[in-house]
Amino acid sequence: MSGIATLGDSIEDYEVYEFLGKGGFAEVYRARSRLSGLQVAIKMVDRAQERTCPDLKRRVQQEVQIHWRLKHPSILELYNYFENRRYVYLVLEYCAGGTLQGYLDARGETLSEPEARHLLRQIVDGLLYLHSHSIMHRDLSPANLLLTKDLHVKIGDFGLATRLSHPTERHTTLCGTPNYISPEVASRGSHGLEADVWSVGVLLYLLLVGRPPGLSGATSSKRLSQDANTLLAGLLQKDPRQRLPLNEVLRQPFFLRGSTKPLRPLSEKVKPEMPFNTHRLRPVRLRARHTILSIQAGGQACIEFIRNGTVAEVCVVSGDGRQVASFRPRGRGQPPGDASPPLPPDVRWLPWDGLNERLQGRYASLARFVGLVRQKTPKVMLYTWHAACMLMESGDFEASFYAGGKVVQTAEEVRVTDILGQTVTYDGISKFPSGEHWDLFCESKRYCQALEAAVESAAATAPGFDPFPAVFGRKPREPRNGMASRTYSRRQDTATFQSIFKDESSTNNNPSIAYAPRITQSIQ
């Protein structure tokens, strides 16, 4: 079975590391592509189990057919799949944060309502996307929700998912995880998309109360706000006809009136938050109304506070973010200039993790500023047949299409600008961008991430050498645009990308020909 050649079409193309988890018929391992350096998770389905489960082959085929087409920030991505005599392999996006179940177990306490709101919004966004394509997940549980290293949630494990022929189609199969199965599924009754809504209610109850409600009828808690209890009552209606429709969930007061808060990292599971650094960031100076923020030629980050027309206080952080100094220029301040005031010879440096509350605020302001600069600093630049692409130091990605239009993806949103200059912002809603530009954007982003991993791997063998920013390709003299030339130019992109990692003698005759049609299968 042909797949994405830049990642690998056989298990020999991957370095397989530690065991991550196990399901009914499969085991999952962390791995790294030998061709691109991209870190992935590989789900290995043991084909020997077909003897005890004759339906296994059909179920795996259905899982792949459904999962392969899905592209959404809240959906775990399936990169590739292949098989040999012993196993069927699914190459998946790697989520360093593990499962939501593991996070909750390690945390040992319930989430606050702002945290639960932040998490549930992402889950509902992903589920709205699935339902908009008539896909019923049927197994939403904390064990099947994955967390990225930044603790964003992604829906995974489509082993029990099914595609409906129409949104009102009903099923009678008993499947799912105990405690998360809706009453109609548990009673082997007719059920549809509403069954997933029940699971959302169970998840919310678990996050806020610490245990699933089961089928006892418990849908509220005195510990929770009225808005939370109202939402739970709507989600956990036993009669699916009375259950809150999924497309109305994010319109409820619980989401409209409350604030959100990202999940708190686990100190025992996640490394302590590291200090920021200005590595590879160019000098920049930005003046606001009462402050001047800058990154200096030596790498220091600096914030100057202006009071009554003079720089009254300066806070400087070393380039590695570990040392902090604060002083008054010339004792009483000085007029703002084109450069930051020089450090006094007797300035006292303090460790970044031992600051008082005032300096912690200064440090946080500089960390946000450096983060913004990272969002605008290219790390990998790639010229494809269609677009000039940039993977930023922050991980943000943008593609500027030669024919007009631009797509920018950050951790919070996606901004799509059409050829007329009109911009639409998607912050996780179900009508996520689709179409030709979005498909090309996702493809180019994956290329840039693989290039980044490959270059970092090569640079690790040469200490002291920094290869970034790295530029690949050049803008074509005659960019190819439009659907008519789309397949050809995609093959060109793939073949060009392959040549970076493989000698022509080691490749197939033209593996990109088999690859291109599969990409066009993405949901429009």
SS3 letters across 253-277: HHHHCCCCCCCCCCCCCCCCCCCCC
Q: Say yes or no to pLDDT of 302 above 50.
A: yes
Q: Say yes or no to pLDDT of 494 above 70.
A: no
The closest alpha carbon to 409, from 445, 362, 365, belongs to: 445
Mean pLDDT of 385-413: 90
Residues marked as binding for ATP? 43
Tokens of 522: 């993405």
Q: What is the pLDDT of residue 269?
A: 41
List beta partners, residue 401. Answer: 387
Instruction: Please state, for a pLDDT cut of 90, what percent of the chain lies above it.
Output: 50
Q: What is the pLDDT of residue 206?
A: 93
pLDDT digits (tens, 9 = 90+) for 31-57: 999 988 899 999 999 998 888 888 888
- What architecture does CATH give domain 98-256? Orthogonal Bundle (1.10)
Q: What is the pLDDT of residue 214?
A: 56
Q: Band of the pLDDT at 481, cuts 50, 70, 90?
A: low
Contact assessment for residue 20 and residue 65, using Cβ atoms and an 8 Å cutoff: no
pTM, two decimals, is 0.57
The closest alpha carbon to 498, from 450, 442, 432, belongs to: 450
Helix (H, G, I), strand (E, B) or coil at 310: strand
Mean pLDDT of 15-22: 89
Tokens of 419: 């050829």
Mean pLDDT over each residue of the chain, to the nearest integer: 83
Q: Say yes or no to pLDDT of 507 above 90.
A: no
Q: Say yes or no to pLDDT of 10 above 90.
A: yes
Q: Band of the pLDDT at 212, cuts 50, 70, 90?
A: confident
Q: Which residues are catalytic?
A: 139
The closest alpha carbon to 38, from 452, 514, 462, belongs to: 452
Q: What is the pLDDT of residue 433?
A: 59
- What architecture does CATH give domain 284-375? 2-Layer Sandwich (3.30)
Handedness of CA 298, 302, 306, 310 (dihedral sign): negative
Query: Of 69-73, 184-188, 230-234, which has the strongest mean pLDDT?
Result: 230-234
The closest alpha carbon to 502, from 1, 3, 10, 13, belongs to: 13
Q: Say yes or no to pLDDT of 272 above 50.
A: no
Sequence ranges of the chain with CATH classification 3.30.200.20: 11-93
Sequence ranges of the chain with CATH classification 1.10.510.10: 98-256
Q: Say yes or no to pLDDT of 462 above 70.
A: yes
| Domain 11-93 falls under CATH 3.30.200.20 | yes
Sequence ranges of the chain with CATH classification 3.30.1120.120: 284-375
Terminal C-alpha separation, the chain:
24
Residues marked as binding? 43
Interhelix angle for 113-132 vs 194-209, to 10°? 170
The more confidently predicted of residues 275 and 331 is 275
Contact assessment for residue 137 and residue 127, using Cβ atoms and an 8 Å cutoff: yes
The closest alpha carbon to 59, from 147, 165, 175, belongs to: 175
Tokens of 24: 């009914």
Q: Say yes or no to pLDDT of 176 above 70.
A: no
Q: Say yes or no to pLDDT of 71 above 70.
A: yes
CATH topology of domain 378-519: Arylsulfatase, C-terminal domain (3.30.1120)
pLDDT digits (tens, 9 = 90+) for 86-101: 999 999 999 999 999 9
Q: What is the pLDDT of residue 213?
A: 84
Q: Band of the pLDDT at 473, cuts 50, 70, 90?
A: very high
Q: What is the pLDDT of residue 502?
A: 36
List beta partners, residue 100. Answer: none
The per-residue b/e assignment along 422-455, b for 16 or more CB within 10 angstroms, e otherwise, is eeeebebebebbeebbbbbbbbbbbbbbbbbbbb
